[in-house]
Chains A and B, each alone.
Chain A
Amino acid sequence: MLRLTSRRSVTVNASILKRVLAFIIDLLIVDIAIVFPFQGVLRRIVPAGGFIETYRYFSVQGSSFLLYAIATTVTVLALMYFVLLEKKMGQSVGKIFFRLYVVGTDKEELSTWRCLLRSIFLIPLFPFILLWIVDPVFVGFSHEHQRLTEYLSRTKVVEHVYW
């Protein structure tokens, strides 16, 4: 009996380009699903204009309690987006499109805490905002293309290559 070779695959570290594109898709979804509903309220408390003007406004005026409350809410909801999807499926929407998966480097199942830890760069407060620079730089030095928060949470993003 003739036996055809079955489709074989190997799991490798995800390409950085695919990860960036997947992240852009996720940001678009977060913007539409989470940030957009708050636009109406934000327009009431944030002066329209460029970044510099807005920065100068809040430097002089100080931020309102309402602005902090909205920023906190948006951050929590954005964290929920990543944590819920990655915990349940190992994939966010962007990762689904590019067939990327979040896995544990220790082969253990992803816990909520680990999913949360790998996404804490979303918190727009010091010292977490430092991760916006540190995380991508860390990828360049990591053998497994991990961000710092991925290294700390013992997770990484992989893709399956078929042939």
Chain B
Amino acid sequence: MLVKENKTSKWIWVFAVIGLLIIVSFFLSGFFALFAGSTMMPANGNVAFIPVEGVIMSGGTSSPFGEQVASSTTIVDFIEQADRNPSIKAILLEINSPGGSAVASDEIASALRRSNKTKVAYIRELGASGGYFVASAADYIFVNRMSLTGSIGVYASYLDISGLLKNFNVTYERLVAGKYKDIGSPYKQLTEEERAVLEQQLNAAHQIFIEEVAKNRRLPVSAVRQLATGEPILGTRARELGLVDAIGGKEEAVKYIEQRLNITAELAEYRERRTLLDVLTGMMQDNFYRMGLGIGNGLQIRDTRPMVWT
């Protein structure tokens, strides 16, 4: 009888210890998962599949209720991760972007050029402006017949609300040290001199864009300059002009990689994984940021130099 009780209490103790360890393990794995949100390693694969979807920006992530953002910080990180991974033989970019920040686009294109892997891009709906800038850094570009691409140009347009303020009898007290310090402020009209300064900068950025595309696509700068009117170009026309290499989508891009590297391609998707905590904190950060921005705008005259967009 005593032996039986001892045996029972022994097994109770065993199950208690194992049960405790299971509970602690699950709890801690959940805790660690909170920190593994965006560092998801893809499953098996030898081709890094990296989507570039939405407006290209240097930072930030997509809000679940807002516009899609392709963060250059994240995408560059993915490209570098793929480049360091010896299992990865090629990088496949899926581009669906109207462009965005010139700096962010350049960051992604530069990271792609630095990579030693075979780089292939395919453009879905849109691979325009900054989206095309990124695609041009790939070794080979596929485009759908009806995709819009090209749009090689830069802009820094903004709303001038000085007239509106005047209607409400609000005046802009200009206090600057440095005559161009408040260049591009929406509270005052742009002078001819300021317009010339901004246009000069835009032309310089435009020139860089043209030269980069020409270098990446091995086209004469003069030929790219002729196309660089900012006009969106249909996929078929882009193929004729040499802005892309072939008509096709994901399937064709994968086949191209397989033939070029003589491998059976297995895609390893590099996509930002967001945990529930990320979504919730992102929403809070977004709301607090907007609230702060609103208050800040109301209280101070901001340095609102226009941003250069591609």
Chain A residues at the B interface, C-beta cutoff of 8 Å: 29, 33-34, 36-38, 40-41, 43-49, 53, 56-57, 60-61, 64, 66, 69-70, 73-74, 77, 80-81, 84-85, 88-89, 91, 93, 96
Contacts and interface: CB of A to CB of B under 8 A. Distances in A.
B87 A45 contact: no
Interface in B5-43: 10, 13-14, 17-18, 21-22, 24-26, 28-29, 32-33, 35-36, 39-43
A61 B85 CA distance: 8
A33 B21 contact: yes
B87 A49 contact: yes
Contact of B14 (A38, A69, A96): A96
B36 A45 contact: yes
Contact of A60 (B39, B43, B84): B84
Interface of B: 10, 13-14, 17-18, 21-22, 24-26, 28-29, 32-33, 35-36, 39-45, 81, 84-87, 273
B283 to A, nearest CB: 22
Contacts of A49: 44, 87
Given A38-B29, A45-B39, A61 B44 contact: no
Contact of A34 (B25, B42, B87): B25
Q: Which of B13, B21, B22, B35 has the most CB of A within 10 A?
A: B21
Contacts of A44: 33, 36, 39-41, 273
- Dominant secondary structure at the B interface: helix
Nearest to A62: B84
Mostly, the A contact residues are: helix
A38 B25 contact: yes
Contacts of B33: 40-41, 44
7 contacts: A38-B28, A47-B42, A53-B86, A60-B85, A81-B17, A93-B18, A96-B10
Contact of B85 (A37, A38, A57): A57
A147 to B, nearest CB: 22
Given A41-B29, A66-B35, A34 B21 contact: yes
B269 to A, nearest CB: 12
B24 A57 contact: no
A58 to B, nearest CB: 10
Contacts of A41: 29, 32-33, 36
Contact of B32 (A48, A69, A91): A69
A93 B85 contact: no
Given A33-B21, A57-B84, 13 more contacts: A37-B26, A38-B32, A41-B33, A44-B33, A53-B86, A60-B86, A61-B85, A80-B17, A81-B21, A89-B10, A91-B10, A96-B10, A96-B14
B21 A66 contact: no
A84 B21 CA distance: 11
B87 A37 contact: no
Contact of B44 (A38, A48, A80): A48
Contacts of A64: 39
A80 B43 contact: no
A91 B91 CA distance: 53
A99 to B, nearest CB: 12
B43 A43 contact: yes
A38 B32 CA distance: 9
Interface centre among A44, A53, A96 (most CB of B within 10 A): A44
